[in-house]
Amino acid sequence: MSKVAPPAAVGDRLADVDTPALLIDLDAFEANLAAVHRYVADRGGRVRSHGKAHKCSAIGLRQIAAGAVGLCCQKVGEAEVFVEAGIRDVLVSNVVVGASKARRLARLAGRARVGVCVDGVLQIEQLAAAARDEGTTIELLIEADVGAGRCGVSGADEALALAGLIDAHRPFLSLRGLQAYHGPAQHLRSVAERAVAIGQAAARAARIATALRAAGHPVQEICGGGTGTYAYELGSEVYTEVQPGSYVLMDGDYGANQPDPDLPRLSQALGVWCTVITSRPGHAVLDGGLKTFAVDSGPPTVLEAGWKTRGLSDEHTVIVPQGDARPLAVGEKLRLVPGHCDPTVNLHDWLVAHRGDRVEEIWAIDARGALF
């Protein structure tokens, strides 16, 4: 739990929330959650929500209650936080290297169903040794590079070699299937580009899965898909599980994607609440800067009509008027949309969940800083 006091109390009006603060609009959050889960369930798929977007057990538990089969995360520390909060099915959708991390995963597997991705021999050997020492079983997904150019095996031969090594370490390791996530495809702007990219990813995943099954290896799950593409993985009939994360929050970068008219339209639920601390002719200054907003996907968008972000420094955002924008007074509070929700959330300790003008809940971002 954070040592920093939350910026608001339940029952406060938004005007009373201290700044800078992360806000989550509960009406938008709940609508996004229900829409995506319903869409996937209606088509016979499963959602494993990605916790890296929110790093918040309170949100993860709501995703499970709404039908998610479990959570994804990217770090062992995140998995530990989610299991401690009562989530009993967690997949580290990333490769993990290091004997200490392997030991922590093996211990965690004594409390929950734990999966992790692999794409190399050392990872498998470390996980096997740790699980043997702890007397537990860790479920593995072979990660396939289906277009991201990051982690993952490049083809069936590599996957077959790893599957054989996993089999040699039974019962301490078991092969669950494939992780075939195409991260860059989430942010291809047009519907057509995203659909083509996932069609190609699905074909690569299918070729590897076919080879594994022909050799007698189980492929129970083929997993991937994010907020920008989950429907295309689902529609490929190759994937069994989709892993959206940003769908309950949304951000400026996802907002720049061309919407698919056949999919649920998601609303912006996450915002950053800032106070005007200086107002001058031609510009105003807000009390949140680079320590408040991640800017890898561009600067935050000001929702006050006629105002635009000019630049950020450590503790300030400078905004400038466009056209007939109304003057801003010192002490006013403005809502901004971050360009990228995941790293923005990781800068904060609390989410202030509000409905309309009233704070309804305060959620700790309890996996914040869980980087290893």
The token pair at 237 is 């009939």
Exposed, middle or buried by CB within 10 Å (0-12, 13-18, 19+), for 48?
buried
Compute the distance between CA of residue 62 and CA of residue 67 in angstroms, rounded to an integer.
9
pLDDT digits (tens, 9 = 90+) for 55-73: 999 999 999 999 999 999 9
pLDDT at 2 over 70: no
| Phi (first) and psi of residue 109, to 5 degrees | -65, -10
> Beta partners for 23?
271, 352
pLDDT digits (tens, 9 = 90+) for 296-322: 999 999 999 999 999 999 999 999 999
User: What pLDDT does 117 receive?
Assistant: 98
Average pLDDT of the residues in 328-335: 98
Given a contact cutoff of 8 angstroms between Cβ atoms, the answer to whether 347 and 292 are in contact is yes
30 confidence band (pLDDT: 50, 70, 90): very high
User: What pLDDT does 209 receive?
Assistant: 98
pLDDT digits (tens, 9 = 90+) for 122-138: 999 999 999 999 999 99
Exposed, middle or buried by CB within 10 Å (0-12, 13-18, 19+), for 356?
exposed
Average pLDDT of the residues in 250-276: 98
pLDDT at 190 over 80: yes
Percent of the chain with pLDDT over 70: 99
4 confidence band (pLDDT: 50, 70, 90): confident
pLDDT at 178 over 90: yes
Given a contact cutoff of 8 angstroms between Cβ atoms, the answer to whether 355 and 26 are in contact is yes
Average pLDDT of the residues in 228-248: 98
